[in-house]
Amino acid sequence: MTVRIISDWGTDAIFSIFSKSLVRLCILHQIRNTLKYVTSKIQEEFMSDLKLVRRMTNKEITKDRLFDLEEKWRGKYPVVIESWQHNWKQLLQYL
């Protein structure tokens, strides 16, 4: 039996019980949480770069766009970039 869970929290706990499950995180919640850490003066520029990532039409192209985002913003917003990297596999469940 396969269990599909859509979640925004506790993926480690879910995997510990349902090891073969697919956990899908909500891209909109990821973006909203990202903007908490980006200063308002830079949000428009950051979102312009992030828009290329969130379009998610092809896994390889999307991964390249995430790498570009990391290169540009890692120095200024390391917590944001680490969050995207940590959640990447679950965010890609939408593709």
Would you call 38 helix, strand, or coil by DSSP?
coil
Residue 4 lies in a domain: no
Q: What is the predicted pLDDT for the residue at 22?
A: 72
Structure tokens at 15: 């995997």
Residue 71 lies in a domain: yes
Q: Is the overall model pTM greater than 0.85, yes or no?
A: no
User: Cα separation of 81 and 34, whole Å?
Assistant: 9
Look up the domain containing 32 and give its range: 26-94
Q: Report CA Rg, the chain.
A: 14
Residue 84 lies in a domain: yes
Residue 19 lies in a domain: no
Query: Cβ atoms within 10 A of the Cβ of 25, count?
Result: 20
Q: What is the predicted pLDDT for the residue at 69?
A: 93
Domain count, the chain: 1
Residue 8 lies in a domain: no
Residue 7 lies in a domain: no
13-33: per-residue pLDDT in tens?
777 777 777 777 788 888 999
Residue 44 lies in a domain: yes
Would you call 9 helix, strand, or coil by DSSP?
coil
Residue 9 lies in a domain: no
43-75: per-residue pLDDT in tens?
999 999 999 887 767 888 888 889 999 999 999
User: Cα separation of 28 and 71, whole Å?
Assistant: 22
